[in-house]
């Protein structure tokens, strides 16, 4: 299973939110590119980047920083936040981003998702952010009447590469992932599911890796890496994925708190 470090961008800085609340943003670094290089050096198989400003504004905001991150790395980068039209998706993929992550449009414009899957085959992922099982949109500021499972099944039919499932109530809390929700969701799909939200320890990652047979192929880790609760080198070794074979012993994680 892949352990995927997260970089959330707000006002050009690397931050973490608590349960998706923009008013509870903690800054961990003012240099996201350096942070990205650090995660790569410690064996990350890919990087997850969220343009929080873009998610809130409804259009990408941090394109320049994202472009700098992509150019600085050799590993794939997946990006979400404010990607709500064909031009925005085309632009972010043209910068070298591996996967464009769609959120709000999956609920509001499924026809656009279908078209993007045709235009960019194998490069469209859908992020489903759920609050009490209902899909949240517009940077988690609104909650729809659509259930996460229903939306995931619809998106799989359209041809998306994977589903990233975030339990908003767990995100940034270090309370552990919602294993039952992930198990139920993955069991209904034939495409990979990437878990996000709440990972607080290597024990949590091992619990997630036990769901790999159901299709949970990755786990996005944010706050726990920045606080040092999870050391990335140890995590990628523990779950048997990533680039850890190439990481020298002296490259142990550095807490960014």
Tokens read off for 19: 């349960």
Q: Which of 8, 53, 167, 204 is catalytic?
A: 8
* SS3 call for 160: coil
129 noted as active-site residue: yes
229 noted as active-site residue: no
* SS3 call for 233: helix
DSSP 96-132: T-SEEEE-HHHHH-HHHHHHHHHHSTT-EEEEEEEET
Dihedral of the alpha carbons of 59, 84, 108, 52, in degrees to the nearest 10: -50
Q: Which of 129, 167, 171, 204 is catalytic?
A: 129
Residue 153 near residue 188 (C-beta atoms within 8 A): yes
Q: How far apart are CA 98 and CA 1, in angstroms?
A: 18
The 3-class SS string of 35-96 reads HHHHHHHCCCCCEEEEEHHHHHHCCCCCHHHHHHHHHHCCCCEEEECCCCCHHHHHHHHHCC
**Residue 194 burial (CB < 10 Å; 0-12/13-18/19+)?**
buried
Residue 51 near residue 79 (C-beta atoms within 8 A): yes
Enzyme catalytic residues: 8, 129
């Amino acid at each position: 299973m892949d352990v995927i470090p997260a970089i959330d961008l707000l006002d050009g800085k690397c931050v973490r939110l608590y349960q998706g609340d923009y008013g509870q943003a903690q800054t961990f670094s003012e240099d996201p590119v350096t942070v990205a290089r650090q995660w790569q050096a410690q064996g990350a198989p890919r990087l997850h980047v969220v343009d929080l400003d873009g998610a809130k504004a409804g259009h990408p905001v941090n394109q320049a920083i994202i472009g700098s991150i992509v150019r600085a790395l050799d590993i794939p980068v997946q990006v979400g936040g404010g990607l709500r039209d064909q031009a925005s998706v085309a632009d972010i993929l043209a910068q070298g981003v591996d996967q464009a992550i769609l959120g709000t449009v999956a609920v509001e414009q499924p026809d656009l998702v279908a078209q993007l899957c045709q235009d960019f085959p194998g490069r469209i992922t859908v992020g489903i952010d759920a609050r009490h099982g209902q899909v949240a949109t517009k940077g988690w500021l609104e909650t729809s009447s659509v259930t996460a499972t229903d939306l995931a099944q619809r998106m799989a039919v359209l041809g998306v590469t994977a589903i990233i499932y975030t339990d908003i109530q767990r995100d940034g809390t270090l309370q552990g992932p919602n294993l039952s929700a992930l198990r139920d969701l993955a069991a209904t799909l034939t495409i990979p599911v990437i878990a996000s939200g709440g990972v607080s320890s290597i024990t949590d990652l091992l619990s997630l890796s036990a769901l790999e047979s159901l299709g949970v192929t990755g786990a996005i880790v944010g706050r726990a890496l920045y606080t040092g609760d999870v050391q990335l080198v140890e995590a990628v070794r523990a779950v048997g994925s990533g680039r850890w074979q190439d990481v020298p012993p002296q490259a142990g994680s550095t807490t960014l708190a």
